[in-house]
Amino acid sequence: MRFKLTIEYAGTRYSGWQIQKNARTVQGEIDRAIREATQEKVFELYGSGRTDAGVHALAQVAHLDIGSDLPPESLRRRINDLLPSDINVLRIEKIRHRFHARHDAVARSYIYQVCRRRTAFAKAWVWWVKEELNIDSMRATAQHFVGRHDFQSFSDDEPGEKSTDVLVDALDIHEDGDLILVHIEGSHFIWKMVRRLVGVIVEVGRGGLTPADAASMLTASSELPARLTAPASGLFLERVYYEGDPRDVPLQNAAGQFFNRYGATTPSRAGK
């Protein structure tokens, strides 16, 4: 039987999503919990894509092939009972057997949180930028990256290993109190691309680059984005879209209200 899992997690304590030897990962924790919850030894857990060490997810998607006959809700509760508190399975639903969490995804969206003040509580979920930021310049820069472009300068993959052409459907800058939220949506994203885009956009906001300087990185190879890579702490995988999913959903920045009220930020979603 194949199930579709929707999962949220804080990535701070993990070496990314994918199972690794001698490292604690999100997939590894879920794999362990499934084994204990079902007593099944043979199953497949396959995610929609990797997130790097320290990166979070509001709605990661995975598919699970398993012989268990537990109802989806019972399975979800049993798995959650065995997971650490910073990983939570939001939903489990039966899905057609041909569904593939990664190959069937048609788009993905990320949110990056930049904080404009020191915070005692939110260090693991934001990038605190001390300098004054020019939001208009950041927005002008973001628009240069919308559309289909070669993002080779923004990738950590070896040149020529795979295509660096990416279609960015939207790249918007929102303000919510002391937070600046960078929201990006596209067909797919290559390794470290989002964090390097954010780093370049923030550098423009600081005044260290112009929007034209940033745009030129799409047409000429540059090592500058690598040096400006934003820290993993502020990055959240927001959604993974499949055929038929609505694309006009509100920005999932429930973080903003919590931040402004309590001086911290953490995305608020349904719990166990």
Amino acid 248: pLDDT: 72
Question: Phi and psi of 143, rounded to 5°?
Answer: -70, -25
Q: What is the CATH number of domain 105-262?
A: 3.30.70.660
Which is nearest to 113 in space by CA: 248, 271, 241, 232?
A: 232
Q: Name, in order, each residue with C-beta under 8 angstroms of 208's C-beta and a sequence gap of 6 or more.
A: none
pLDDT at 254: 40
Question: In the prediction, which pLDDT does 252 show?
Answer: 57
User: 2-94 domain in CATH 3.30.70.580?
Assistant: yes
CA–CA separation, 155 vs 242, rounded Å? 25
- Largest Cα–Cα distance in the chain? 58
Q: Do 2-94 and 105-262 have matching folds? A: yes
- The helix/strand/coil state of 156 is coil
Q: Which two tokens stand for residue 51?
A: 């997130």
Closest CA to 256 of 119, 60, 113: 113
Catalytic residue among 52, 169, 176, 245: 52
Contact 205, 138 (CB under 8 A): yes
- Sequential DSSP letters for 113-127: EEESS--SS-GGG-E
**Domain spans in the chain, listed from the N-terminal domain onward:** 2-94, 105-262
User: Mean pLDDT in runs of 10 for the chain (272 residues)?
Assistant: 95 94 95 96 93 94 94 96 97 95 95 92 91 96 95 79 87 91 92 95 96 94 93 95 81 47 39 34
Residue 132 to residue 268: CA distance in whole angstroms: 28
Q: Is 157 a catalytic residue?
A: no
